[in-house]
Structure 1
Amino acid sequence: MPIAGSPAQAAPFATQAGGAGLTRTQTVELQSKVDDLIKQYPGSRQVSANKIAAKGFDIVVQAPGQKAGQDLAKPATKLALGCNSGYLCMEVGGTVFNLYACQTWYATNWYGTGEFVNNQSPGTVASFYTDGSGALRWTSTAYEAGHFDATPIGSVRPC
């Protein structure tokens, strides 16, 4: 089986990225971002030009020219952040994180303002912790949506 970032792995996704209007340079830049995330989240795998998935979560990487991450394998929608039932979804720095599994997820390079949708079972509380100390920063009770300051968020627990 090809490893992420190998020519055999990247070729179909490069074709997909090109079909979405990305130049070769933009495609290489996007693949580099995807490869970096795969290294950060062991067990994850690339499933489209700008999406990785693993048990309990998926991440959609912002492609060059996008305002927010939107899976290049799917037709464009007007919603900046769609969120399936049962998920806590966040957009930070253009990358979309869709968390499902009830565990602590560690964040890297989360800065600035982000968007979130807590579309879990009603009453489920998601907790956001600071970078480093792990102190509770804020919580969100499902259903809730809005914007948040991601500086600094070091980890998230969706349940």
Structure 2
Amino acid sequence: MALRKLIASLLTTLALVAAAVTGFTGPATAASGTGAGSSTGSGSGQGFTAQAKQAGLTTAEARQLQRTVDGYLTTVGGKQVAPNRIELAGQGEIVVAMPGERYARDLSSPAGTRAACPYENFCMWTGTGFTGTQFNLWKCGTYDLSNWNGPGSWSNNQTPGTRARFLDRGYNTIYTTPGAYANSAYYNWTPVWHVVPC
């Protein structure tokens, strides 16, 4: 099952690359950044590594963070805009948890501070209890999940009454969230292949 899901995720990523060229409304898949300190997803991120070190991370932690961000840029796409933040072409963002920390946060916030799930967003975490890397989705559309296996969590902070749907590999709805505001500190992402936030 896990191997089939990984293969299908890779095929989905390839399909998303093709879709990005044709204007697909889901997450961006071409990781491109220009200008000083931007990452192209190829492990360059030198400027962001320096920023992470200025924020108090050790050299090893800053490099580990950049490797994690590069992994998301490769599998999900988007554009790195901060040491631990990726924009998904105006559709959402990824906030990566710092090495050794439970919660995703803005670098200017102290360690242990949780990044908020902004109003009008559907947020997902790779860990239970709203821990780990955080995905904030604010645009309606179908988002493909890549390698989301095991337990995590979610928060539906969209406009009142808005529901998110979780879909299986065949785009069949397997779960519909309660209307906003709602959340779950534990949800098994393994059967979920796609999310429609609204």
Pick the TM interval, shorter chain: 0.7 to 0.9
Runs of 5+ in structure 2 lacking a partner? Answer: 1-33
Equivalent AA in structure 2 for residue 153 of structure 1: V
Q: In the aligned structure 2, how far is the partner of 1:120 from the partner of 1:79?
A: 22
Per-residue displacement from partner, 1:30-56 (whole Å, max 9, x unpaired)? Answer: 1122112122334x1111111100211
Residues of 2 paired with 1:157 and 1:99: CA distance?
A: 9
Higher-strand-fraction structure? 1
User: Which of 116, 136, 139 does residue 98 from structure 1 map onto?
Assistant: 136
Residues 1:120 and 2:158 are matched in the alignment? yes
Q: Is 1:135–2:172 an aligned residue pair?
A: yes
Indicate whether 1:11 and 2:54 are aligned.
Answer: no
Once the two structures are aligned, what percentage of the paired residues are identical?
35
Q: TM-score, normalised by structure 1?
A: 0.85
Partner of 1:125: helix, strand, or coil?
A: coil
One-letter identity of the residue aligned with 2:126: V
* 2-structure distance, mates of 1:28, 1:52: 16
Q: Show the counterpart of 1:151.
A: 190
> 1:47-66 maps to which residues of 2 (within 5 A)?
47-54=81-88, 55-66=90-101
- Unaligned 5+ segments in structure 1 are none
- Alpha-carbon distance between aligned partners in 2 of 1:14 and 1:79, rounded to the nearest angstrom: 21
* Shift of residue 6, structure 1, vs aligned partner: 6.4
What do residues 115-135 of structure 1 show as CA deviations (whole Å, max 9, x unaligned)?
A: 2111111111100123x3333
| 2:59 is equivalent to residue 24 of structure 1 | yes
Give the structure 1 partner of residue 117 of structure 2. 83
